[in-house]
Amino acid sequence: MRDMLSYCGYTLVFEDHFDGSELDRGRWNVERHEPGWVNEELQEYVDRAENIRLEDSRLLIRPVKTVCGGTVSYTSGRISTQYKHDFTYGLFEARLKVPKGKGFLPAFWLMTTDESAYGQWPVCGEIDIMEVQGHLPQTNHGTIHFGLPHRQEQGTITLSGGDFSEDYHNFALEWLPGVLRWYVDGRLFYEAEDWFAARSGSAPEPFPAPFNHDMYIILNLAVGGSWVGNPDETTDFENAVFAVDYVRVYQKS
């Protein structure tokens, strides 16, 4: 098992350094979803400059809390490359800084482009490259979701000093036929080689399904939900931001 990330044999096929004044809609979709759409999350995903903007060659995704007549609501941002840039295998990386605070869940991940190939989630497969819970900002989770009944395999890395909200860090996934490797700042922290694609009561598809066909990139900042929990009185929305310096994808010829 290799300990350090290597670019040997890889060619850059996609990148965004967010240098323009507006998000490149030729590369990215801005997704809109209602509150509670998944995981009992509280935010509405919207297409607004206050939630998604470019500044100083960075993508900034901000959560916004609104109180109106005693009712609290939240908005946030979610972007994806679905049907614009989809990939089978490769090396995926992003340089990120996450928000700190109860109820925040920023994520950098891959989702199956065609969910009908093997079946709806979770059979179709999901690969989470970076998920840092806002109340535990020193720990990153790398996860795959698959199968029916739903199964997941997860690895974690915890910084020995500081946390992921204090500075930018490089998060990467190497996706090869039959093996997935997760890295932070170039160092391997988890490897997976065991998964399956099967609907309940049916024979499994040949390995390495479902992680053998096109997936797309997602960057989002969730607020609340069944895993991370909801914001409380300590959560600082004024200074919360999920900042993305760049996203790159490499593939082997």
Q: Among residues 184, 251, 151, 229, which one has the least CA distance to residue 3?
A: 184
Please identify which residue in the block is written with the tokens 């920023």.
106
Catalytic residue among 41, 44, 93, 126: 126
Burial class from Cβ neighbours inside 10 Å (0-12, 13-18, 19+) for residue 199 reads middle
Q: Is 191 labeled as catalytic in the residue annotation?
A: no
SS (HEC) of the chain: CCCECCCCCEEEEEEECCCCCCCCCCCCEECCECCCCCCCCCEEECCCCCCEEECCCCEEECCEEEEECCEEEEEECEEECCCCCEECCEEEEEEEECCCCCCEEEEEEEEECCCCCCCCCCCCCEEEEEECCCCCCCEEEEEEEECCCCEEEEEEEECCCCCCCCCCEEEEEEEECCEEEEEECCEEEEEECCCCCCCCCCCCCCCCCCCCCCEEEEEEEEECCCCCCCCCCCCCCCCCCEEEEEEEEEEEC
Q: Is 55 labeled as catalytic in the residue annotation?
A: no
Catalytic residue among 131, 153, 233, 238: 131
C-beta separation of 73 from 139 below 8 A: no
Q: Which residues are catalytic?
A: 126, 131
